[in-house]
Amino acid sequence: MKRGLSILLCGSLMAGMLCLPSMAAQPDLAAQKPALQGDFWVMVNGEYVTFPDAAPKSLNNRSFLPFAAVFEQLGFAQKDMHWDQATQTVTATKPDVDYTNVHGEAAVGDMTVELTLGSTTMKLWYEGDTIGDPHGNQAQVVQDVKMDVAPFANTAIGRTYIPLGLVAEALGYRVGWDQTNQTVIVDDVKSILAGNQETYELMDQLMDYSRTFAGKNYKVTGDYAMDMKMNGTSQSAGFQKMDVVFDLDGTYTMFTQGNTAFQYDTDLKMDFTVNMDGSDVTNAMLTQAGVTENPFPMDVTMEMRGDLADGNMYFRSKALAGLLGQADLENAWIKLDMKELMDQSSATLGMNYAQLLELSTAAQEMSFEEYLALTLQDTPATSIYSNAAYLLDQMNLMFADSKFLKSGNSYVNTVDLDGAKMVYTLYTNGSKVNGYAMEMSADMDQLGAMSLSATMKGTQMDMNMAFNVAMDQGAGESFAMDLSMTMDGNYQTTSVKPTTQPAAGDTVVDLMDLLGAAAEVPQIVA
């Protein structure tokens, strides 16, 4: 909701892309691993590979293979690989590679990779320009790639080892590491997509629909509600029956500009009660939690401001600050720097904030197939189940034209998963898509059942979620929960631009500072 309609639409696509593989019945790729030859396994384009004459080695947290094995897996022909004993150098050449020439123009030529024993510099050469390579050809040195490790000679078996991952990354391959399965993942996304026979005309129409909202300011108004009921029995805790009810409902107004800037204001009412063995114990529970006076039912006003282009969000609520015992912050804005948080975790996530923002907004200027390629290339390969070939198969299950069946003025794709079901509907008006709906349901065994639906048609948005849990452990121990959430919104163009920051002079407190030092004095934004 916070990033406008276009991001909502693209977000639904990303949700499908990233969530579908985790929900689907996965092939047991771990069980398909061949016998371990060395220090790790290697998966190229979704397939495990073996090496007949030399084992993979790990050195300084880098993966090494004999140079012939590396280049063979990266698409180089055996006849184009060479070892120069005099210079202790290995080279490999691949014909007809796309590159940018010295004039900044797109070109096609032979590419040569050069690595030298003991050297942490890898050279890339392209045929057709003005600088001579070591073999006397007319070529351009495109770049010197600095590495943190150097090729080495394994004298015991007479093989020259080069860093697989570093070489693959330098040549534009997608590279990842699955720690659990001790597997290096290498994907040639271009070649994988070259073999893809699916089309995405319907997805392109959906993106065209989202682009009709680009570049405009919108006012969005709507209602939302949440109801949660929990009940349980616990003889060990000393009660026969406990009932907890929490509900809220409210209205909101939101202003958006572009894909990232927003201003969100809401008024809502919250209520909370706890009943134990027929007695209302709400006050006692609140007192135990440090709340001295029962504020329920309570009216809450909340304001949010932000622009995700710079990653900063601000929110404030007098009522919630009071409820949390932070009376000194009742008029303060709490700042959340999402960019800083994500950048701090980029090594683990495999992606920083700028990369995530680029990926989520790229669909505004791309065809779906281009967006698909970007997603496959940039999604971190942290698991054997996130290899590009497998991800493409799962995405095609959801988004390919061949998976949709025409039903009246709509196209419907139903995907049956392992314990889950997803239905994706595209609404049309004439030859154009003018909305979509996504429904998900899942049976999560002992955790219960979940359902989720989101619809965007024309300028109207509706969302619904339900979660139901029922567990009976016997011996007087049981627990059940019913949770439902609804939200709607109507989009109207407006000349009003969102306010994305607190006013000058307002009190602003960084959330991380607040969590780290509750007594810190708020700072004033000039």
Tell which wins on pLDDT, 521 or 487: 487
Looking at residue 259, its pLDDT comes to 77
Looking at residue 187, its pLDDT comes to 96
Looking at residue 359, its pLDDT comes to 67
User: In this predicted model, what pLDDT tens digit does every residue of 63-121 receive, in sequence order?
Assistant: 999 999 999 999 999 999 999 999 999 999 999 888 877 677 787 888 999 999 999 99
**Lookup: tokens for 301:** 């006003």
Cα–Cα distance, 440 to 20 (Å, whole number): 10
Listed range (138-147, 238-247, 286-295, 369-378) with the worst mean pLDDT = 138-147
The secondary structure of the chain in percent helix, strand, coil, rounded to multiples of 5, reads 25, 45, 30
User: In this predicted model, what pLDDT tens digit does every residue of 416-471 receive, in sequence order?
Assistant: 877 789 999 999 998 899 999 999 998 877 678 999 999 999 899 999 999 999 88
Looking at residue 341, its pLDDT comes to 83
Residue % of the chain over a pLDDT of 90: 57
> Which three-class secondary structure state does DSSP give residue 113?
strand
417-423 long-range CB contacts below 8 Å, 24 or more apart?
417/20, 417/23, 417/24, 417/25, 417/442, 418/23, 418/24, 418/25, 418/26, 419/443, 419/444, 419/445, 420/23, 422/16, 422/20, 422/23, 422/398
Whether 187 contacts 177, CB under 8 Å: no
Listed range (284-288, 312-316, 425-429, 494-498) with the worst mean pLDDT = 284-288
**Lookup: tokens for 315:** 């929110």
The alpha carbon torsion through 515, 3, 303, 512 (nearest 10 deg) reads: 10
Which is nearest to 320 in space by CA: 244, 267, 249? 267
Q: Read off the pLDDT of each residue in 330-335 and give the average, rounded to a whole number.
A: 91
Whether 6 shows a pLDDT value over 90: the answer reads no
User: In this predicted model, what pLDDT tens digit does every residue of 47-63 receive, in sequence order?
Assistant: 999 988 788 999 989 99
Q: Which pLDDT band holds residue 173 (cuts at 50, 70, 90)?
A: very high
Whether 418 contacts 24, CB under 8 Å: yes
User: In this predicted model, what pLDDT tens digit does every residue of 221-263 receive, in sequence order?
Assistant: 999 999 999 998 887 766 678 899 999 999 999 999 887 899 9
Q: Read off the pLDDT of each residue in 358-362 and give the average, rounded to a whole number.
A: 69
To which H or E segment does residue 228 belong? Answer: strand 217-234
Whether 366 shows a pLDDT value over 80: the answer reads yes
To which H or E segment does residue 116 belong? Answer: strand 106-116
Whether 157 shows a pLDDT value over 70: the answer reads yes
Whether 398 contacts 422, CB under 8 Å: yes
Environment class of 291 (CB within 10 Å of its CB; exposed 0-12, middle 13-18, buried 19+) = middle
Looking at residue 118, its pLDDT comes to 95
Q: Read off the pLDDT of each residue in 148-159 and give the average, rounded to a whole number.
A: 91
Rg (CA), the chain: 29
Whether 131 shows a pLDDT value over 80: the answer reads no
Averaged pLDDT of the chain: 85
Partners of 180 in beta bridges: none
Cα–Cα distance, 410 to 428 (Å, whole number): 6
Query: In Å, what is the CA distance from 439 to each residue of 304, 347, 422?
Result: 29, 33, 6
Environment class of 96 (CB within 10 Å of its CB; exposed 0-12, middle 13-18, buried 19+) = exposed
Looking at residue 343, its pLDDT comes to 79
